[in-house]
Amino acid sequence: MEIIPLPAFSDNYLWLIHDGRHAVVVDPGDDGPVARALAGHGLELTAILLTHHHADHTGGVAALARAGLPVYGPAAEHIAGVTHPLADGDRVAIDAPSLALQVIAVPGHTRGHIAYFGDGMLLCGDTLFNGGCGRLFEGTAAQMHASLGRLAALPGDTRVYCAHEYTLANLEFARAAEPHNPERDAYRERCRALRDAGRPTLPTDIATQRAVNPFLRCDSRSVRDTLALADAPDVQVFAGLRAWKDRF
């Protein structure tokens, strides 16, 4: 199994999962990069996975979804073309390429956002980013904090495939939010080297995010001291971080 990042727009990644013959695409906001990759690798598209309704994640569905092609997406959001609406705890089984995925409801960025977990990977759309998390367009801070907690509880070696290349900007904010984190600083330099070489900073993994991502570190004394919220509940710390990041 191979997973290829297909750059789209200014900073999106559309993830193409394939076995050399058959492919599944995640959040195809633009059909062009997908069609070119399928033709270039000689692949047949067998399914589409969607995490939420935003156009940069769904805009290519109509052009890619031939008759009979399964399109999986959140049941709690209206997305044209979805044939298999999914809710928390549902399972997705795809024969070719062979995929067995669990659906995790992760509201916050949007009300019905879902993620897919299985085969050692997490396809999380705009919920968890490398070094950050999604904006609260529709959900609440409490919802997003709970959603991130569910993802942070996954095995540490889970590979994280999110949908945007925001890493360096996120880690710059992380330095402000948690000034003393040597592991984060070393990781930031590795990510900078990847970008300087024209390579993605993704996938990351859950263990790394627990160590460097301030939104998963709301119990950190350093983060709490920065926000002057030493004794506040974790969700209040998260809300303070998210509001600060919005204007950072």
Residues that are catalytic: 52, 54, 56-57, 109, 126, 164
The separation between CA 9 and the C-alpha centre of its own chain, rounded to angstroms, equals 16
Are 133 and 125 a contacting pair, CB within 8 Å?
Answer: no
CA distance 158 to 131: 15
Q: Are 188 and 151 in contact (CB under 8 A)?
A: no
81 contacts 65 by C-beta, under 8 angstroms: yes
| CA distance linking residue 213 with residue 137, whole number of Å | 20
Judged on CB neighbours under 10 Å (0-12, 13-18, 19+), 45 is: buried
* The three-state (H, E, C) secondary structure of 106-134, written as one string: CCCCCCCCEEEEECCEEEEECCEECCEEC
b/e per residue 64-80 (b: at least 16 CB within 10 A)? bbeeeeebbbbbbbebe
Distance separating alpha carbons of residues 113 and 115, to the nearest angstrom: 7
